[in-house]
C-alpha cells in the first residue's frame, strides 16, 4: 500500500511540475526548478516524443544547473534526438572527464558516433560501457540494443542481443527482437528458428506470426506464408497488413477467385486503398468478370487519378475486347503518369499495331526496350512484326547496333538469327541462334514462326534437333 501511495503522489507531483512548466512557457515567464524536477520534466517530454518541449526544458535546466551531470547528460540526449550529434559529443566529452565511470555517458557517446556513421567507434564506446561497474549490466545492454535498433545497425545489434538473452532468458521479447535483427540481415534460417521459439512462449503474438509470414513470402514458401498470416488473423482479425499480404500472394499465384474475397475484406478496413482496389480489379479481369473489373478500376481512379496502374488495366481490357481506339486513350494516360514502366510502353505499342500504325508501334517498343533490354515479349513481337511487314533489310543494321551495345540478350540473338536467315546469311544465323538457345531455350517457341522450315539449313536443323526444338 505504501508503494501505491508513493506512486500516486509521485504522479501527482509530476503532473503539477509539468503544469507549472507549461504555464511558464505560455506566459513567457521564468520559474526555478530544482534538479530532480528538471530531470522529470525532460524525461517526460522525451518519453512523450515532444522533442521541442524537451529541448526547451533542457536549455533552461542547463542554465539554472550548469554543473549538474544528470542535466547535461539529458541535454546531450535531447541533442541526439534532434540529430545534433556533434553538439552532443562536445557535452559528453566534458562529462566523461567529470564522471569517467558513468556508463550512461559512454552509451550516449556511442549513440552519437552511430548517428555520425562511425559504427566502429560506437562499438568501442558500447563495449567500454559494459566493462564499467554496474549493478545491472542488463540495463546497459538494453540501452545499447535500443540504440542499434533505432539506428538500423542490425548486423551489430545481434551479438549484444545474444548477450542480453543470456542475462535475461525469461524475457521472451528479446527473442522477437533477435529474430527481427536476423530477418533484417537476411539470415532467414536463424530468423525463422527464433520466431518459432518465441511463438512457443507467446503463441498469441499476431506480429510474430505476421513477421514469420513475411519471411516465408520472401523465401517463396507461399503455403507457409499464408498459414502464418492466417494465424496472425485468427489472433487479430484487424491486422490489415496480414490481410493485404495474403491477398497479394493469392493474386501472384494466379488464385484470383480466392484472392477476391480477401481483397474485399481488406477494403472493408481500408476503403481508400487505391492499390487494393486496382489489384481487386485485376483479379476480376483475370476471372473474366470485365464489368466488375472496369468498376473497380474506375473506383481506383476516383481515389487516385494520378496512379497509372488502373488506367493501364482499363487499357488492357479495351485492347483485349477488340477496342484499340479506346485502349489508346487509357494507355496514353497511363504512360504520361508512368513513363518508366516498360510494360505500359509495350501494351501501347500493341494497341498501335492493332490499328496498323507500325511506325508508332516500333517507337513504343523501342521505349520499352530502353527501359528493359531483356523484355522477351517485346523482342518477340518486334521480330515478328518486322518479318511480317517485310522490313528485315532496313531493320538489320539497327538490330546489329543494339547487339553491339547490349551484348548477348536472347531476344536480340533470336531476331538477328531470323534476320540473317531471311537475308541469306545462314552461318551468321546459326551463330546467333546458338547463342540465343544457350541464353534462353524456352524462348524459341515464341519465335518459331519467323524460322520457316524452307529457309532452315542442315546445320540449323541439326542444332534445333539437339535441343529438341523441332
User: Which pLDDT score is estimated for 7?
Assistant: 43
Separation CA 114–CA 123 (nearest Å): 9
Separation CA 75–CA 144 (nearest Å): 19
pLDDT at 89 over 50: yes
Number of residues in the chain: 470
Separation CA 456–CA 429 (nearest Å): 10
Separation CA 38–CA 287 (nearest Å): 65
Residue linked to cell 479481369 = 285
**The C-alpha cell that represents 285 in the structure block:** 479481369
Angle at 59 between CA 57 and CA 61, to 5 degrees: 65
Question: HSE-up of 342 (CA within 13 Å, CB side)?
Answer: 14
DSSP states along 13-29:
HHHHHHHHHHHHHHHT-
Helix ranges (DSSP H) in 151-202 = 154-167, 173-184, 188-201
Per-residue model confidence as pLDDT tens digits over 320-371: 999 999 999 999 999 999 999 999 999 999 999 999 999 999 999 999 999 9
Per-residue model confidence as pLDDT tens digits over 430-449: 999 999 999 999 999 988 88
User: Which pLDDT score is estimated for 3?
Assistant: 44
CA-nearest of 163, 137, 160 to 147 is 160
User: Which pLDDT score is estimated for 8?
Assistant: 44
Per-residue model confidence as pLDDT tens digits over 15-65: 899 999 999 989 988 899 999 999 999 999 999 989 899 999 999 999 999
Per-residue model confidence as pLDDT tens digits over 97-121: 999 999 999 999 999 999 999 999 9
User: What average pLDDT does the chain have?
Assistant: 93
Separation CA 355–CA 364 (nearest Å): 14
Q: Which long-range contacts (CB under 8 A, 24 or more apart) does 51-57 make?
A: 51/78, 51/81, 51/82, 53/25, 54/78, 54/81, 55/82, 56/25, 57/21
pTM for the model stands at: 0.80
Torsion angle in degrees (nearest 10) through CA of 262, 265, 266, 270: 160
How many secondary structure helices (H) and strands (E) does the chain include?
Answer: 27, 0
H or E segment at 447? helix 444-447
User: Which pLDDT score is estimated for 344?
Assistant: 98
Q: What is the mean pLDDT of residues 370-394?
A: 89
Asked if 445 and 419 count as a contact pair (C-beta separation under 8 A), the reply is: no
**The C-alpha cell that represents 144 in the structure block:** 545499447
pLDDT at 2 over 50: no
User: Which pLDDT score is estimated for 38?
Assistant: 92
Angle at 223 between CA 219 and CA 227, to 5 degrees: 110
The residue ranges of every structural domain in the chain are 386-470
Burial of 121 (0-12, 13-18, 19+ CB in 10 A): middle
The distance in angstroms from the start CA to the end CA of the chain is 89
User: Which pLDDT score is estimated for 114?
Assistant: 95
Separation CA 399–CA 69 (nearest Å): 73
Per-residue model confidence as pLDDT tens digits over 118-163: 999 999 999 999 998 777 889 999 999 999 999 999 999 999 999 9
User: Which pLDDT score is estimated for 13?
Assistant: 85
Amino acid at each position: 500500500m505504501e508503494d501505491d501511495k508513493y506512486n500516486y503522489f509521485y504522479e501527482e507531483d509530476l503532473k503539477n511540475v509539468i503544469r507549472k512548466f507549461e504555464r511558464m512557457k505560455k506566459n513567457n515567464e521564468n520559474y526555478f526548478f530544482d534538479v530532480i524536477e528538471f530531470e522529470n520534466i525532460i524525461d517526460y517530454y522525451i518519453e512523450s516524443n515532444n522533442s521541442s518541449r524537451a529541448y526547451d526544458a533542457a536549455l533552461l535546466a542547463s542554465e539554472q544547473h550548469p554543473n549538474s551531470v544528470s542535466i547535461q547528460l539529458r541535454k546531450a540526449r535531447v541533442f541526439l534526438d534532434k540529430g545534433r550529434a556533434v553538439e552532443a559529443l562536445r557535452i559528453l566529452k566534458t562529462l566523461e572527464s567529470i564522471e569517467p565511470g558513468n556508463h550512461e555517458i559512454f552509451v550516449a557517446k556511442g549513440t552519437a558516433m552511430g548517428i555520425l556513421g562511425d559504427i566502429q567507434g560506437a562499438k568501442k564506446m558500447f563495449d567500454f560501457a559494459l566493462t564499467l561497474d554496474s549493478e545491472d549490466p542488463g540495463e546497459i545492454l538494453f540501452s545499447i540494443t535500443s540504440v542499434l535498433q533505432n539506428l538500423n545497425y542490425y548486423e551489430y545489434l545481434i551479438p549484444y542481443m545474444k548477450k542480453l538473452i543470456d542475462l535475461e532468458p525469461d524475457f521472451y521479447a528479446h527473442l522477437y527482437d533477435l529474430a527481427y535483427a536476423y530477418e533484417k540481415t537476411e539470415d532467414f534460417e536463424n530468423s525463422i528458428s527464433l520466431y518459432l521459439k518465441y511463438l512457443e512462449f507467446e503463441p498469441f503474438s499476431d506480429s510474430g506470426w505476421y513477421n514469420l509470414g513475411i519471411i516465408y513470402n520472401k523465401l517463396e514458401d507461399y503455403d507457409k506464408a499464408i498459414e502464418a498470416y492466417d494465424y496472425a488473423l485468427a489472433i487479430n482479425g484487424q491486422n490489415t497488413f496480414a490481410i493485404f499480404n495474403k491477398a497479394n500472394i493469392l493474386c501472384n499465384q494466379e488464385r484470383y477467385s480466392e484472392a477476391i474475397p480477401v481483397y474485399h475484406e481488406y477494403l472493408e478496413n481500408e476503403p481508400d486503398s487505391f492499390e487494393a482496389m486496382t489489384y481487386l480489379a485485376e483479379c476480376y479481369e483475370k476471372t473474366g468478370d470485365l464489368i466488375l473489373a472496369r468498376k473497380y478500376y474506375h473506383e481506383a481512379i476516383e481515389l487516385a487519378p494520378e496512379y497509372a496502374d488502373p488506367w493501364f488495366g482499363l487499357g488492357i481490357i479495351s485492347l483485349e475486347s477488340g477496342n484499340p481506339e479506346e485502349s489508346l486513350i487509357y494507355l496514353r494516360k497511363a504512360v504520361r503518369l508512368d513513363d518508366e514502366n516498360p510494360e505500359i510502353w509495350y501494351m501501347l505499342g500493341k494497341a498501335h499495331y492493332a490499328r496498323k500504325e507500325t511506325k508508332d508501334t516500333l517507337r513504343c517498343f523501342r521505349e520499352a526496350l530502353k527501359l528493359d533490354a531483356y523484355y522477351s515479349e517485346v523482342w518477340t513481337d518486334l521480330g515478328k512484326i518486322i518479318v511480317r511487314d517485310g522490313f528485315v533489310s532496313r531493320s538489320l543494321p539497327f538490330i546489329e547496333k543494339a547487339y553491339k551495345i547490349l551484348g548477348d540478350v536472347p531476344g536480340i540473338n533470336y531476331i538477328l538469327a531470323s534476320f540473317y536467315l531471311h537475308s541469306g546469311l545462314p552461318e551468321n544465323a546459326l551463330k546467333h541462334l546458338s547463342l540465343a538457345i544457350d541464353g534462353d531455350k524456352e524462348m524459341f517457341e515464341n519465335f518459331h514462326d519467323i524460322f520457316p522450315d524452307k529457309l532452315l539449313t542442315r546445320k540449323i536443323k541439326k542444332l534445333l534437333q539437339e535441343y529438341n526444338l523441332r
